[in-house]
Amino acid sequence: MSVKSKTEDLECFITVVESGSFTEAANIHNTQVAKVSRSIARLEKLLDVTLLNRSTRRIELTEEGHIFLKYAKEGLTSLNRGEEALNDLKGSPRGKLRIDAASPFLIHQIIPYIEDFQIAYPDVQLDLISNENIVDLIEKKTDVAIRIGKLADSNLHAKNLGNSTLHLVASPRYLAKCPAPESIQDLKKHKLIGFTDSVKLNQWHLKEEVETKPYLTATSGEALRQLVLNGNGIALLSSFMIKRDIDSNRLVEILPGSVISPNPREEIHAVYYKNSAVSSRIAAFIDFFIKKFTL
């Protein structure tokens, strides 16, 4: 068995454990379930132990599997650190870098500067992933995630990128049909747009208590922006995605100063795992983009 096949088998084993499913692990690695199963079988044959107990409903680690998982993770981490150390000796960041961010942040803050980043770091291969929900960095093979909102305590490193203020906005088209509210309480008379099944994101942090139950919802902040631009109502959106719309009069700010600021929804961080060295690729990405972000 080659070194490469051994590391691939270790990665498959860890992913099966983290995802809880051979099928999900195959999806993550973009391969067939049978190949993942063969990887686990090779490891078990090589080690002469059973690592996983399989049943139709779930997968459980054996006692030997629990012990081996710890060393498998440490081993792969050490190999990755070694690779990064060698890359650093070559003088410039190189290799694949997987970035996860909510679609509006990706569209408005990252994609416009990708060409410049690739010119500055031609040997870094970016893989941009859009997720509206928080992802497990290991399970999704993600190097850096951009997270909007207050962070929970975790085993992640976090680099604060700043705060992006929230604004109540509507389009001139909507305001032509429904005159702008003159007070926070007037919002009850308007069509409000919010997030699907998200209590936290539908908390508007206004200076007065008022029911802000949305009549129209979507899962993506970018979808909310498009709904507002097309005259469907009023939404509370982050400056990083609507500043240009306000400056160009595509959107109008409603009730300026009515939102409490700062508030937990305004924080923006780049996060990555503590148990891995900060690679030159991650450092290059953060250092480059923190100068570009207009939050």
Instruction: Please provide residue 234's backbone torsions phi and psi, each rounded to the nearest 5 degrees.
Output: -110, 140
Q: Give me the pLDDT at residue 57, please.
A: 67
Q: So what's the pLDDT on residue 173?
A: 95
User: Distance between CA atoms of 194 and 199, rounded to whole angstroms?
Assistant: 10
What was the pLDDT predicted at 278?
A: 52
Alpha-helix runs per DSSP H in the chain: 3-19, 22-28, 33-47, 63-89, 103-105, 114-120, 172-177, 221-229, 239-247, 280-289
Domain 3-88 has CATH 3.20.19.10: no
CATH architecture label of 94-162+266-289: 3-Layer(aba) Sandwich (3.40)
Neighbours of 152 (CB within 10 A): 8
What are the residue boundaries of the structural domains of the chain, listed by start? 3-88, 94-162+266-289, 166-261
Please give the pLDDT value at position 5.
Answer: 47
Determine the Cα–Cα distance for residues 184 and 206; give it in Å rounded to an integer: 8
Determine the Cα–Cα distance for residues 149 and 68; give it in Å rounded to an integer: 36
Instruction: Please report the pLDDT score of residue 172 as a whole number.
Output: 96
pLDDT tens per residue across span 209-255: 888 889 899 988 999 999 999 999 999 999 999 999 999 999 999 99
How high is the pLDDT of residue 88? 58
Which pLDDT score is estimated for 11? Answer: 83
Q: Is the dihedral of CA 185, 190, 194, 199 positive or negative?
A: positive
166-261 maps to CATH 3.40.190.10: yes
What are the residue ranges in the chain where pLDDT is below 50?
1-5, 134-139, 275
Fold match flag (3-88 vs 94-162+266-289): no
pLDDT at 4: 47
Distance CA 29, CA 113 (A): 28
- Specify the pLDDT at position 242: 95
